[in-house]
Structures are given as C-alpha cells and as structure tokens.
Structure 1
C-alpha cells in the first residue's frame, strides 16, 4: 500500500548555515544503508523522502531506520498528487484498512501556496471521513491520527510515526578511537558518541596466551551489533601479552592495572594518528572500580596526547545496563570471556595513585616504545558493514 517513506530530523534543522552539510550527509548515509531496499532518496522541504519499490521489505527497512543517527522519526506513507480530491481518496484508502472508532486529522502545510490552510484542510478531511466511514472526531484522545504533509509538488499521508534515535548523522563529527573491552560499558560509550555523529574505530587488546581466535568472536559480535548505528566499522585486534609480562616482572601488583591502561592508551594514540582521529573514548564510570577513581583516571588519562571522552562518567551500572539492553549489546557482553586484565589485577589495587609515582614506575619498563611497536606490528584489522 505504501509507496514512500517520510523522514524527519530534529537537531539538524537548527544547525543554521551548516544545515545543508548535515542534510547531505544524512542522505548519503541513507542511500548507502537502503541501496537495495528503496528506489530513490531525496530532500523535500525540510524532510527526506524515500521512494519504495512495489514490494517493500518493511521490517528490514524499519529496523535500519529505527537505529539510524540523525532521524527523529519516520513514517511509511502514501505519496499522492497535490489535489484535495486525491488527498481525500488516499485518506479513505489508508483508514479503511484499520480498526478504530475515533480519529483526528493533523496536517502540515510546508507549501504555503496550497489554497487551504492546515485548519481548513483538517476540517474538510474530518467531515469527509465522518461521512464515508461513520467515525467520530476526538481531538484530545483519538484512537488514530491521520497525518497529512503538504509539499510543493505532492502530498504525503500516513497514520503511524516510528521513533528514531535522533542525534547527528554518522561521520559528521569526526573519528574517535574506542577502547573496546569484552564488558558492558565500552560498547554503550561507543554508541552514545555514534549518536553524536562520530565515526567510531574500535581497538581491542587481548592476550593470545589466554584469548584464542574463537574467543575473539565475541568482540566481533559486539562490533557487528554496533555497526548498525554507523554503517561501517573497523576493528583493531592488538596482542599485548609482552607488555603484560613486563608489568608482572617489574611493577608492584597494586599499580599494574594503572600502568597497563597507560600502555593501551599510548597504543590507541598511535592508532588515532594513523586514522586521523581526534579523540579516544572509554567506558569509564566515576568510582565504579578501583582504576576509575578520580586520582587513577588522572594518572591514566595523562598518558594520552588526545582528549579522552567518557560519556558514562556520571552513570551508575544499572543505567549503563539499561542502555546496553536497549541497543542489543548486553546479551553479547555477558558471554564469558577471559579479559586481558586478570593477569595483572590485584586484590588490593591502589585507589589514589600519584602521577609522579606512576611515571617513576613506568620508567622502569625498558624499551617501552619497542614494546608498543611490537604490538602494532602484530595487530590484525577486521572490517564490518551494515
């Protein structure tokens, strides 16, 4: 029945002089994601229209658009000519197939040359529907709403708005390197920045003595799940067993986690330079674990030449879990997985480290740069696409 999709965005509409850039990027992203599912994607008076084929794959299209950064809401609609009689016929066709007793009409007139204003059109269509379908108008609590959008060359009618995730289109805010663990937090942190238009490049650190190739499938599943929010993803798999061996030999147990996190941030800095990224992102939540006290965050983050973003910093674990469930990463994150951290963890970690002590300990590691270089040389890269 439907021949088009009407897509509305929120934040993009208030971007002023940059609005055109964001709209074009959203259209480019939609064309890539829907290339085999729609006939055409184009702008029309503050909205985006997708023309549908004769047999649309509604469920597949809906799943993509519900998770598409930049979309506030969308609707499967019937596009018709800009004439009152055509609009009447389509409204009847649309409503006949649905069960309801009360309704209201909401029209939006982008094309001001249309002879009827919104209130007049609402009244005429309402009276027509009452006469033809014997239904009643209820403007406060209707069972169904008929939405009518009047544009310059055509009109669009629909009865169901489907909510998107909002935010900004993918790749409009630059590249960010995500330190992706096998846990719950870092995928959520990555998602929140995807919503802000960032292109996330994933970096996962593993110990090949503990993590076999089949174990890394969990990490790949997380990245694959998150790729639906950004179209394409890249995953760096970086072995760090030699660094961990040095830490165990030369660093007091209470400080090993802090030193290890400084190392992986320095490795992530090298990836950021290579990818022309402008920041890192971690799943840190203030005081959630010993390495995330304010003092330890300072000791760890000071090793980076790039800003480190922490979108979860003020959330508690339950709030993070709720987002993880919503985006579909929670069930993957709780699959058993041997993290790189246990080999260097301590039952009595330092919680209020001093940066001067941390740097002095780090200087005990011989040939630090060569250790980092060795990790990067043995790195594997995997690519994902929506």
Structure 2
C-alpha cells in the first residue's frame, strides 16, 4: 500500500498551537487532491501520512504534494511488515530501476521498541541492496537515499525524499488582497505571502476598452497559475481608465501617478472589506520606479484602509526575476500588453510627494463616488485547482455580492 509521507517545516516548532497548522495542511491537501479520493490522513509525530489511491500515479502525487506549503519534504512510501527481511525486499524493489551508482539507507524509528536500532537497520538493509543491485555505499553524498520509517503499525520504505514547498500552510495566518499588475513583481510577492500562510484574493486594474484587453488576459493567466498553491482564487478586474482620465483632467502632471496609486489602494481596500481580507499585498521594491521612492510609498500607503505588505521591498530586479522564473510566471509576465500603468503617465513624475500637496489635489474629486463606481463596475473571475470546467470564466458581478 502506498503512502504520501510529508515532513513538517516550521509547523514542527509551533508547540501547543501545532494542531491548527496541521489541520490546515490536511484541508489544503484535500483541496489540492480534490479530483482523487484519498485514503486515511493522519499526523504521526513530525510527519503527515496520507494513503494514496491506486488511480493516483506517483508522478501526479509528487507534483501536487510539492505545492503544499508547510511540508519541508515528502516521499512516496510503501508499507511493509515490520521484519528486516520484508523491509529489505521492499528497499530492493524501490531502488530497482534507479540509475544511481551510489546509495545510502537512512532509518528513523517512531517506535523505539523495534528490536534493531536505526544504524543496525541501515547496515542490514544496505547490505541486501548492495548485494542485489551492485550499488556502492556513499554515506556523505549518495545519488540515491533509501528512507525507512518504523511506525507502530508497519515499516514504510521509499526511494528518496522530494523537497517540499516549506513555509506555512495557506490560510493559517489570515486573508489578504494582492494587487496583481500583470508584470514580473506582483506574482512573486503574492507567492511569498501565500508561503507565509496568507490566503489571497487578487485585484487587477486595467484600462480596457481604452486599450486592448491583453493585461486582463495576462492577469487571469497569472491568477490561474498562483491558484495551484491555494486551490481556489478570486480575481477582481477593475476598469480604471475612466478614473485615470478624470484625474488627468484635474491634476498637475507630476502628481498623477501618486493619485493613481492612492485610488488603487482605496478601491482595493473596498474590495478587501467585502472579501474579509485584512491586509493588502503589493509587489513594490524600494527605489525601483518613481512611485516607489520612500517618500512616495509613505504618501501612497496613507490612502489604504488596511496595512500594506511589501514582501519584495528589499529585493533588486534580478533577484525578483530569478524567483519569477522558478515560480513559472516570468514568461507570462513579459508578454507585451497595455496596462493602466502605461496610460496617461507623465514624462517626469514626482519622486518626493508631500501629503499636504497630494491631499490638496484630491480635494477636487468626489472620492467616495469614484470608488463606488469602480467597485460596481468590477468583474470577477474565479479559479480552481485542480481546474474545473468553469475555470477562468469571467462573470460581471455586483460588488455587493462579494
């Protein structure tokens, strides 16, 4: 019988609160394997054990398990009786077909009453594997590691451990609203906050129909990709072009970008309230563009009704690009588009805005009306992983229905 055995990351350090984190991992696992009927799921010491159904291949099981935040590593393990002959046979079976030339056996005993200690098991099983398959023993840097875990009910054998996603399980630290621009930075920021246990909804500001719908399509593709780590997502598509035109008609050029950003945070805050989110997440990096100077970020943030989290604030562009490539969002993010950030942008935007000057400029606007108009015009797209037939089908909904 096959089992997915996941080993906890930070969860192992949570003391009396550990059960909350473990329960969240279990729920997230059920969601990400929602198209399969998993067997028993139980927590045994510092590990999670999940019975895998016959129709679920090792490849898909490993692919899905790698998306679950909270697991440091995992393995596809096979149960066998708790005698050294059975364990050795299973180890040989797991290692057969491997192209490795060197190997090691690593044993952990959950049940310390087992007749042999871990070192004795390693030696006994290792000798049988070496004789049967001709591998050389290398205890420092083996190409293949055979893992054996001795539990109360059975022994569990696997050929190697797979690196997990780490972090904290999505949903355990709360809910946030991530501003998803369609560029390189914001998907990386969203991923980093999901890895810290935050469940996210997404909001994208676009200028369609003043420009093409390309940025909306990119945002939907990025949201669908990010949904792989949290099983379900909502993307809110806010038409922003007319609001920008109103700002352009009533504001001096240098301050326009500052006002755009402040209105985005106001609208995102209104949508966050309806989604029961308690923080906003942006992909800002200090000094990267004119709106991301220290002075401008401080002025812009004052318009938000919720704390603004900036997980990339101390990273440079190359670091962010490297993470986007690993995440799998880079190629989508660099597809050319026309988003609202490129519409009506002055040649020389203000880099050191003063709050008094900005508030004076905003006094010309009916801010509550503008926010309400944007929220009511917002379209909503919902995504699931594993995908459903309705994935990425965008339906226009009233903001009061969130």
Asked if TM exceeds 0.5, the reply is yes
Q: Paired residue for 1:374? A: 373
- In the alignment, the residues of structure 1 paired with residue 134 and residue 257 of structure 2 have an alpha-carbon distance, to the nearest angstrom, of 71
Is contact 2:212–2:338 with CA below 8 Å preserved after alignment? no
CA 1:99 to 1:361, structure 2 compared with 1: closer, same or farther past 3 Å? closer
SS in 2 for 1:288: coil
CA 1:109 to 1:364, structure 2 compared with 1: closer, same or farther past 3 Å? same
Q: Paired residue for 1:260? A: 260
- In the alignment, the residues of structure 1 paired with residue 57 and residue 100 of structure 2 have an alpha-carbon distance, to the nearest angstrom, of 26
Q: Paired residue for 2:39? A: 40
SS in 2 for 1:311: coil
- In the alignment, the residues of structure 2 paired with residue 129 and residue 303 of structure 1 have an alpha-carbon distance, to the nearest angstrom, of 65
Is contact 1:31–1:41 with CA below 8 Å preserved after alignment? no
Runs of at least 5 residues in structure 2 that lack an aligned partner in the other structure: 386-402
Question: What TM-score do the two structures reach when normalised by structure 2?
Answer: 0.91
- In the alignment, the residues of structure 2 paired with residue 71 and residue 176 of structure 1 have an alpha-carbon distance, to the nearest angstrom, of 22
CA 1:101 to 1:339, structure 2 compared with 1: closer, same or farther past 3 Å? closer
SS in 2 for 1:40: coil
- In the alignment, the residues of structure 2 paired with residue 197 and residue 282 of structure 1 have an alpha-carbon distance, to the nearest angstrom, of 16
Q: Do structure 1's residue 205 and structure 2's residue 202 form an aligned pair?
A: no
Runs of at least 5 residues in structure 1 that lack an aligned partner in the other structure: none
- In the alignment, the residues of structure 2 paired with residue 181 and residue 35 of structure 1 have an alpha-carbon distance, to the nearest angstrom, of 29
Is contact 2:253–2:349 with CA below 8 Å preserved after alignment? yes
SS in 1 for 2:160: coil
Q: Paired residue for 1:320? A: 320
- In the alignment, the residues of structure 2 paired with residue 301 and residue 124 of structure 1 have an alpha-carbon distance, to the nearest angstrom, of 63
- In the alignment, the residues of structure 2 paired with residue 263 and residue 315 of structure 1 have an alpha-carbon distance, to the nearest angstrom, of 25
Q: Paired residue for 1:216? A: 216
Task: Return the offset for 1:295.
Answer: 0.5
1:243-292, CA deviations, whole angstroms, 9 ceiling, x for partnerless residues? Answer: 21211111001100001111110111111211121110111100000000
Task: Return the offset for 1:203.
Answer: 0.6
Q: Number of paired residues?
A: 384
Q: Do structure 1's residue 115 and structure 2's residue 128 form an aligned pair?
A: no
Task: Return the offset for 1:213.
Answer: 4.6
Q: Do structure 1's residue 182 and structure 2's residue 146 form an aligned pair?
A: no
- In the alignment, the residues of structure 2 paired with residue 134 and residue 238 of structure 1 have an alpha-carbon distance, to the nearest angstrom, of 63
Is contact 1:67–1:228 with CA below 8 Å preserved after alignment? yes
Is contact 1:111–1:150 with CA below 8 Å preserved after alignment? yes
Q: Paired residue for 2:393? A: none
Q: Do structure 1's residue 344 and structure 2's residue 344 form an aligned pair?
A: yes
Q: Do structure 1's residue 74 and structure 2's residue 78 form an aligned pair?
A: no
- In the alignment, the residues of structure 1 paired with residue 271 and residue 200 of structure 2 have an alpha-carbon distance, to the nearest angstrom, of 12
Task: Return the offset for 1:98.
Answer: 2.7
SS in 1 for 2:71: coil
CA 1:316 to 1:8, structure 2 compared with 1: closer, same or farther past 3 Å? same
Task: Return the offset for 1:179.
Answer: 1.0
Deviates further, 185-194 or 338-347 = 338-347
Q: Paired residue for 1:129? A: 129
Is contact 2:206–2:215 with CA below 8 Å preserved after alignment? no
Task: Return the offset for 1:41.
Answer: 4.5
Deviates further, 47-56 or 24-33 = 47-56
Task: Return the offset for 1:55.
Answer: 4.2
- In the alignment, the residues of structure 1 paired with residue 214 and residue 290 of structure 2 have an alpha-carbon distance, to the nearest angstrom, of 30
Is contact 2:182–2:215 with CA below 8 Å preserved after alignment? no
1:95-131, CA deviations, whole angstroms, 9 ceiling, x for partnerless residues? Answer: 3333444322110011112122111211222233344
Question: What TM-score do the two structures reach when normalised by structure 1?
Answer: 0.95
Is contact 1:253–1:344 with CA below 8 Å preserved after alignment? no
Is contact 2:215–2:339 with CA below 8 Å preserved after alignment? no
1:66-116, CA deviations, whole angstroms, 9 ceiling, x for partnerless residues? Answer: 222112111112111222222122122223333444322110011112122
1:164-186, CA deviations, whole angstroms, 9 ceiling, x for partnerless residues? Answer: 22011111111111111121111
Task: Return the offset for 1:364.
Answer: 1.7
User: Cα RMSD between the aligned structures?
Assistant: 1.7
Q: Paired residue for 1:356? A: 356
SS in 1 for 2:270: helix
Q: Paired residue for 2:20? A: 21
Q: Paired residue for 2:397? A: none
CA 1:133 to 1:334, structure 2 compared with 1: closer, same or farther past 3 Å? closer
Q: Paired residue for 2:245? A: 245
